[in-house]
Structure 1
Amino acid sequence: MRETARVVLQGRKDGKLERSSDFFVPANFPHVIDAVQKVAGLDERTNIFKTPSLALKLGHNLKKVANVLECEAMISGDENTMHNERVFKQICKTRWSECISSHALRTMNEAKWNAPQLIHFAEDVRKMHLYLDTKRVECQRNLKEEAVKKNWAELAKITLCEVIIFNRRREGEVSKMPLNAFTLRDTSVTHPDVELALSELEKKLCKHFQRIEIKGKRGRKVPILLTPDMASSMELLVQTRRKCDVLDENPYMFGRPQTLNHFRGSDIICEMAQSCGAKHPGALSSTKLRKHVATMSKVLNLKDNEMDDLADFLGHDIRVHRQYYRLPEGTTQLAKISKVLLALERGQLSNFKGRNLDEISIDPEEKMSVDSGSDTEEEVDSTERDAATSFSRSPGMEETINNGCISLTFLRKRKSKLGKKVLQVVGTAL
């Protein structure tokens, strides 16, 4: 609503679109395009948007509003409004991409070119976990000593951040975790028949962690694993909710005191990343952490079913998110594709016949040999001269030429230079 309101205000400022309904009059479509371009900051000289994502969102928003107005017009029987909405959507379908979407998408794609990939360091992740461990102990002690909303909110923030970081989960999914997802979790032990397929270490891990299920993207069921420390913090939060002014009507596990809202995981992760002393706090976000674990899975020799299990835990569809489950494009081209280019440059590609990119070993600092090439060329020329002479003096040569039946098989077995010499000999004989 706020994004759409900005366009409406821009239309009023220009004096062309006084009311929101004026946006959907077909004759005003050029003024709508002009208002969207100004709000998104289009540079008419370069056709580059300052905020390309806003331009795309405004297109979706206007189409949604048009659909709503069309439905209302159908209910009230307003034929004129129905006609305007349908014509507006048809014009958008034809002209919107040309005027807005193509420039916005091009701006977004070009902004990614040559941009450095900010990948967090393992040391930064370790610092953040150590910081959260220290803060959790402190916040648990404070809440047990004095059950007030300030202490409850601090422990809720720390626990929310820990769950997101450990599980590499989308921050919105954990932030909206319902209270009953934790209170009604399955705490039963693993079935003895199932344990037969597990190693001793895996059996211990099953007893160490607790598992709960919440709603993920597009309504998918996604799991969350809880360590004993996380589970104890969440149990303490549940026990002290009422004392700390968390409303009974608040359905969220990490709800804000005295409201019906929840804490936002993205804000908390940003705050903790700044506080823990990480070198690159901007790289410690839920999205970047999720992409990182998918990329680093290539370091392990995972089978296809194991890769599917990892993607399913992260809430990914391996067919859609395949680009995350591989090394970065720049790294692949520098480290692997460069081997092929070096081998082609040195004429050594045939030496690696039957090998994959990981098996090719070539030193980029090795110098190419010049002398060996000249010797080889002299040997080839000598061979070609001898073969051409033997061909011209072979028995039955004149008969073959006269009949016009020069053997192509012979020519195919020779190199191009030899073929030219043979043709010269044939021409002389004719």
Structure 2
Amino acid sequence: MKHSGEKLVAEILAKKKGGKDRKLLWKKLRNMGDFHYNIKRITEKKGHLIVERRPTTEKDSNEFLPCPHCLGFFVRSELWRHAKECPFRCQNNEEEKPLVYSAQILLYSNLHENSDLQENIEEILTGMKSDGVLKAIQSDNSLMSFGSAMLKRVGRGRLPNVRQKLRQLGRLLVSLRCLSTEAAVFTDFIKPKEFDRVVDAVKKISSNPSEITEKGCQKYSLPSLALKLGHSLKRLAEVIRGRAIRDGDDERRKDVENFILLHDTEWADKISSHARQTIAERKYNEPDILPLTCDIVKLKDFLLHEIVRLSELLLKDINAVNWRNLAMVVLCRITIFNKRRGGETSQMKLSAYVNRKTGEWKDAENLEIISTLSPIEKKLMDRLQLVEIVGKKNRKVPVLLTKDMWNALDLLNSKRNAIGVPLQNPFLFAAPSSKSGHLKCWDSLKWITNRVDLKNPELITTTNMRKYIATVSQIVDLDSKNELEWLANHMGHTLSVHRKYYRLQEQTLELAKVSKLLIAADCGMVHRYAGKTLDDITLEEIQLDKSEEEDCDEQDCSSSEECQERTPPKIKDSKQKQKEQKQSEKDTEYVCSNAKKCTRRPWKEEDKQALRTSFHQHFTLCCPPSKSDVMLQGRKSDRVRKLIEERGWTAVKYYVWNLVQQHKKRGQNMTNAKEQKN
């Protein structure tokens, strides 16, 4: 064989002829050659690609991505289907979601020419802080390739995110160099034998060795950093593997693939699980503090007043400072009113606002829907305008504008040229004198809340405002799934995310609503509220404790002329005892209610015998049973449990006490009779 002397070919020839392993290795070798060929064709932008499955229709080369496992090229929409059955895929790797992301990183890291790489890196590093982390990034070519590939994938609109990822990896590289040599780079650590050292470095910069979680695991001071580094390290390893494939470095490629295998199998046990446990424990007993309603109302009044004042000031004196101040106030007003994420409203495009729907809703296709609306809803349609913008995960999310908002926005747009906003700036809330910058909602909100006399200004954030509207919406009866889904769609997330992360269980609702159910269950009265809602349970029907329970029974029974008192033993006169004795001998129970009429329900003989057997200790001690005693016997005896369900535990308690008194009286009579006889 011509290439039998090659190391990789020799390894394949050493396998059993016709065996499965040998066929798979030949396939991967062919895919590596095809990968080099396809990269060359895409770079030169001519020729045809060698793909694993030829599509039925002709497609552009941009529609194809390489499989991160076998390097074969597939149509982007079919890549997930192949990855499920790819023979080179690690069996323990169940991470399906970032498959396309991994394929793009692998492809882009091999497509960059040196000039393009240098241009992208200069753009990324220009805005970074000049320190030791920046020097570490500049000294590592693999980090710069990672940053360039990531920027090409996510676009320049997310340049700050790319810088953040690079600085996190730069901090890790600085920590690794403390454990190794000063000149080390990431290609020296993306190896199986260095995996444990990488784990130690991640722990060093994100955890405190002296602290442990409640379950005995290591506690992280920066758990989110540890989780992010785990994702970034795998992406970086894929970039290094792509360069190794392009350079024909089989030894380095194998080292990187084995490192990725270790990452998939051991990273969760050593880092991720502990970091997630730390995040979960931080939420225990942490109060869900939301903005105060009075602060929100006061802030709204302040914003309305400032919009009027700054609009008049801008008309009198047109300058960048007045324009910027008015833009910041309007930005906050829109964000707080719509409960939007700050980044969504601050990045609203000027074209989206200009092409907005201006209340002309009553066209022919909407007449059927509009006819079902109430008069106030139709009035709101005339008074509000709608702008559709891009939200999280490229969702289309709405922004509602009131008259004060769009009047201020029209004024701002009319003065853009006068204050020198570049024509190239596409943002509605553009940063003056910037071609691509925009105002930040967080900065604007912080600037405004510091100027208003609020009780808790630190709680006025966009995230807290979203949680506030999701929580207080529980007060409104959104019984229809569609109504709750409308609110979730307006906020730009799914219904499950709305319930899990945004709609908090306020302490007030916990105490007022859920506590009624718990008290009813504690009293053994849940069966009385079958088919009812929590609002149907009233405190008047629930016995809160023994003393209140006895007092209530006294008052209820005494209010009816036909009912006799049923109270625990007290010091009574002879007439009272005789009256009680006569009543107990009737062996009946009077069921009392707030109504004047009472119902008489006789006790059966088998019920009496069951009560005497179950409560024999109380007969011996001559004491009344408590609620816990009654409920305990109800769990032990089916007959007692049935009596509790039919009559209530209080009726059982007092009838047992009546039987105890009868037993005691009979014993006293027998004793007296013996004494008289003697």
Cα shift at 1:316: 2.1
Q: CA-to-partner distance for each residue in 1:6-31, whole Å, 9 max, x for gaps?
A: 11111112335721222312111111
- What residue number does 1:14 align with? 179
SS state of the match for residue 249, structure 1? coil
SS state of the match for residue 7, structure 1? helix
Find 1:268's aligned residue among 433, 444, 448: 444
SS state of the match for residue 321, structure 1? helix
**1:339 alignment partner AA:** K
- Counterpart check, 1:249 vs 2:443: no
Q: TM-score scaled by structure 2?
A: 0.54
Cα shift at 1:118: 1.0
Q: CA-to-partner distance for each residue in 1:114-151, whole Å, 9 max, x for gaps?
A: 11211111100011111111221222122222222111
For residues 29-428 of structure 1, what are the structure 2 equivalents within 5 Å?
Answer: 29-46=195-212, 47-187=218-358, 189-191=360-362, 193=367, 194-259=369-434, 260-302=436-478, 303-323=480-500, 328=505, 330-361=507-538, 362=542, 364=544, 367-369=548-550, 383-384=608-609, 414=639
Q: TM-score scaled by structure 1?
A: 0.83
**1:75 alignment partner AA:** R
8 Å Cα contact 2:470-2:504 kept in structure 1? no
Identity across matched positions, percent: 34
**1:309 alignment partner AA:** W
8 Å Cα contact 1:139-1:151 kept in structure 2? yes
**1:148 alignment partner AA:** N
- In structure 2, distance between residues paired with 1:203 and 1:340: 40
- In structure 1, distance between residues paired with 2:251 and 2:502: 52
- Counterpart check, 1:4 vs 2:4: no
- For structure 1, list consecutive stretches of 5 or more residues without a partner in the other structure: 389-411, 417-430
- In structure 2, distance between residues paired with 1:386 and 1:314: 60
| Farther off after superposition, 267-276 or 159-168 | 267-276
- In structure 1, distance between residues paired with 2:638 and 2:223: 60
SS state of the match for residue 225, structure 1? strand
**2:446 alignment partner AA:** C
Cα shift at 1:71: 2.3
SS state of the match for residue 418, structure 2? coil
**2:544 alignment partner AA:** P
**1:288 alignment partner AA:** N
- Counterpart check, 1:23 vs 2:189: yes
Larger radius of gyration: 2
- In structure 1, distance between residues paired with 2:420 and 2:464: 35
| Farther off after superposition, 23-32 or 379-388 | 379-388
Q: CA-to-partner distance for each residue in 1:337-383, whole Å, 9 max, x for gaps?
A: 4334323433333333443333222253663449768989x978872
Greater RCO, CA 8 A, separation 6+ = 1
- In structure 1, distance between residues paired with 2:461 and 2:349: 22
With over 3 angstroms needed to count, the CA separation of the structure-2 counterparts of 1:105 and 1:413, relative to structure 1, is closer
Cα shift at 1:38: 1.3
- For structure 2, list consecutive stretches of 5 or more residues without a partner in the other structure: 1-165, 213-217, 554-565, 570-583, 590-602, 614-636, 642-678
8 Å Cα contact 2:470-2:498 kept in structure 1? no
8 Å Cα contact 1:119-1:288 kept in structure 2? yes
- In structure 2, distance between residues paired with 1:137 and 1:228: 12
